[in-house]
Every structure is written in structure tokens, then in C-alpha cells.
Amino acid sequence: MIALQRKIAILGATGSIGTQALDIARRYPERFEVVCLTAHSSADKLFELVREFRPRVAALETEPAWIPEDVRFCEWVFGRDSSARALEFSGADDALCAVVGIAGLRNVWTALACCERVLLANKEALVTGGELVMARAREMRRTLLPVDSEHSAIFQCLRAREGNPVRRLVLTASGGALRDRTAKEIENASVEDVLRHPTWRMGAKITVDCATMLNKGLEVIEAHHLFGMDAENIRVVVHPESVVHSMVEFQDGAILAQLGRADMRGPIGYAMGFPERLPYGGEPLSLTEVGSLTFRAPDDARFPCLSMAYEALRAGANAPVVFNGANEAAVGEFLGGRVRFGEIARCVRAALDGVARREIRSLDDVFACDLEARAFARKFLGGRK
């Protein structure tokens, strides 16, 4: 039985997902007690949130020069892996893992040990540590609730399965900010162009990933782990309206879809309130306003990162870790204005070809391989500035 008021930890509280989750917590104070808030280095933002939500514990990776008097009532944790360490003694029932990148893997790992439910936004944790994370979730008998909108949609559709086998999962993709650009325009797209996402407002890293369509590749790997589907049975369709959030196809050809506005508070609220649906305050979706829904096949020639994700998933072993690590490094360089947009896809391609295949048996293997991929990417990109 779900307790009436749940103690929730928000890891990555200052980010796009974190702040939207806190909007929901703010709306339902009787449902959520926020016991832990963490961030990387946005100290002032976190202080504000701590003043408002009064958690038991808060954490920052980068220790600030000074902690204001009025936020000293809670325990503070600083430095490496501070989010995971804070979570350990927060007493949270649920942890929303919304740190960006592989930096969030340790949090997911810790959350599976000490919380009943893990609300997973941090897709890179599953891409890099998928088998280990899923095995731990099973072993610890934890509920893993997807927050990514596509996976939330599939999770919701699967609840109507009633024991029937699934033929395939169909992930929808907006196509990102460069969806209708030519190959030449894509090659030289500026940071500003790339961050102008047509339908979703998100953090910078994932917005770049949408523009390369590598995000959809991460989501294919995420779906493979969450729902136990092979690469062959996970399809992607470009759906510019972002109204159908994803679909499940059954053996009789019937397709169930979940529809909604392109508002992440929908899937975040669904995971937070699960199994109850909590209205998050958004306007209802008007299908007559939307008018028509369109779907098309992804264009591999302009967006090669999606098929690289399938390749990494099929190759297994450390390939998904290399895929992710090279991308994180390349996106950082692009956002820093040091390399052209087109280098991201070339860097990921080179890393998949150039980093030797190794088995992944532990979390340490994941982190070691991530470092190897980043070192490879830095060297590759260093020669191309």
C-alpha cells in the first residue's frame, strides 16, 4: 500500500526536470515531503529551494565559499558523489534521479539500495549501466518508474497488456531543432540554433542530443533495458507534433498510444503520483487544435547517430558506454564553442570504431570505460579544432 505522504529526494533539483518535479511537490504538499535536494554547482538556486522546501539534507558537488545562515538547519554534503551520499541518510521513500549524464549512475545505484521507488529521468544511467542497474532493481525488488516521456508512455500502454505478448515498441521523436535542415546546415549549426527545440524545453545537453537524434538512440537503449525488448523490436518514428508520446504494438496488429501535451510535468507527475494520476495544472490537450498528426521515417543520412545507437546496443559489452561517453565529451566541446556540430557524430563514430570492446561486469568497469571513451573523444576532437 502506498503511504499517503511520501518522502521524496530530488537529485538534480536545479535542472529542468528537477524544477518541474518541485512544481508538482509545491502543488501537493500533503502528498510529498521533500527530504533531499541536490545539484552540481548552482548554489544560490539550491539555497532558494532549501529555504522553500526545508529538506533534511542537501548536497552540492562544488562546495560553495559560504553557506547562508538561514539554510544551515539542514545537513549539507559536498564533493564527489555528494548526491548519492546525501540520499543515503535522507530517509527518502522515493528518489527522482534527474542528474544529467553518467554522473547520475552512482545516484541510481544508491537509490536502488535505499529507496522503495526510483523515478528515473537520467537515461544515461541505463544506457551505460543498464544490465547491472536492472539486475539490482530485480534483486532489491525495487520499482523503477520511467520519467522520460516515451518510456512513461510505453509503461502506461503496457499496463493494458493483460498478459498478451508485445510485438514491438514504437518510440516517437520530434526530430529536434535541425529536423528540416540540409546536411550542410546541420554540419555548421550554431549552439543557438541547436538549443532552439521546436516542442520541448529541456536542459542544454539533452537538447543537443535531440538535434543529433542521438537522444532517440539513448532512448532505444533505455527502452531495451526497461522493457526487455530486443533492438529489432524497437522502432523509431519522427512525429513533429510531439503529441503521441510513444506506442506499443501487439501481436494482433493493434497499437496502443499515449497522447498528451509536450509538457514534462505529465510524465514526471505520473511517476511521482503512481499509481494515481495527479493533475499538474497544464491545459488539457485539444485534438481539434492540433488538427493532424504526422509520422515519417528517420533520415539516417542526415542523422547517423540513431543507427549508431542500434549498432552499440547490438554489439553489447562496453559499446553503449563508449557511445555515451564519446557523446558526452563531444557535446561539452560543442556547447563550449570549441568544435562544430558535425564533429559530434564523427566523434561518436570514431570512438565506436576505435575503442576496444571489453566486457562490463561491474560499475567500476562502466566508469573505467567511460573515462577511456572520453579520453579517446578529447584526442579525436583536439585534432579537429
Binding site for ligand NDP (CB under 6 A): 12-18, 38-42, 61, 83, 98-100, 103, 121-124, 148, 200, 202-203, 205-206, 264
Closest residue to ligand NDP, Cβ-based? 15
Residue 148 or 343 having the CB closest to ligand NDP: 148
Give the C-alpha distances (Å, rounded to integers) separating 96 from 10, 193, 303, 325: 5, 30, 31, 23
- Alpha helices, H only, the chain: 16-27, 43-53, 82-88, 105-114, 123-139, 149-158, 183-187, 191-194, 204-212, 214-227, 265-273, 287-290, 305-315, 319-335, 342-354, 363-382
Which entry of Mg ion, ligand NDP, none binds 304, CB below 5 to 8 A by partner kind? none
Which cell numbers hold the place of 363?
Answer: 560499475
Residue 40 or 350 having the CB closest to ligand NDP: 40
Q: C-beta of 16: minimal distance to ligand NDP in Å?
A: 4
d(CA 74, CA 259) in angstroms, rounded, equals 40
Q: Coil, strand or helix: which one is 256? A: strand
Q: Are 339 and 385 in contact (CB under 8 A)?
A: yes
Q: C-beta of 143: minimal distance to Mg ion in Å?
A: 20
d(CA 366, CA 372) in angstroms, rounded, equals 10
d(CA 27, CA 30) in angstroms, rounded, equals 9
Q: C-beta of 342: minimal distance to Mg ion in Å?
A: 23
Which entry of ligand NDP, Mg ion, none binds 203, CB below 5 to 8 A by partner kind? ligand NDP
Which entry of ligand NDP, Mg ion, none binds 83, CB below 5 to 8 A by partner kind? ligand NDP
Q: C-beta of 217: minimal distance to ligand NDP in Å?
A: 12
Task: List residues binding Mg ion (CB under 5 A).
Answer: 148-150
Residue 121 or 211 having the CB closest to ligand NDP: 121
Which entry of Mg ion, ligand NDP, none binds 200, CB below 5 to 8 A by partner kind? ligand NDP
Grid cell 518510440 — which residue? 171
Which entry of ligand NDP, Mg ion, none binds 262, CB below 5 to 8 A by partner kind? none
Q: Are 351 and 377 in contact (CB under 8 A)?
A: yes
Residue 43 or 256 having the CB closest to ligand NDP: 43
Which entry of ligand NDP, Mg ion, none binds 206, CB below 5 to 8 A by partner kind? ligand NDP
Give the C-alpha distances (Å, rounded to integers) separating 17 from 5, 104, 106, 189, 212: 21, 13, 18, 26, 21
d(CA 252, CA 373) in angstroms, rounded, equals 43
Q: C-beta of 20: minimal distance to Mg ion in Å?
A: 14
Residue 17 or 329 having the CB closest to Mg ion: 17
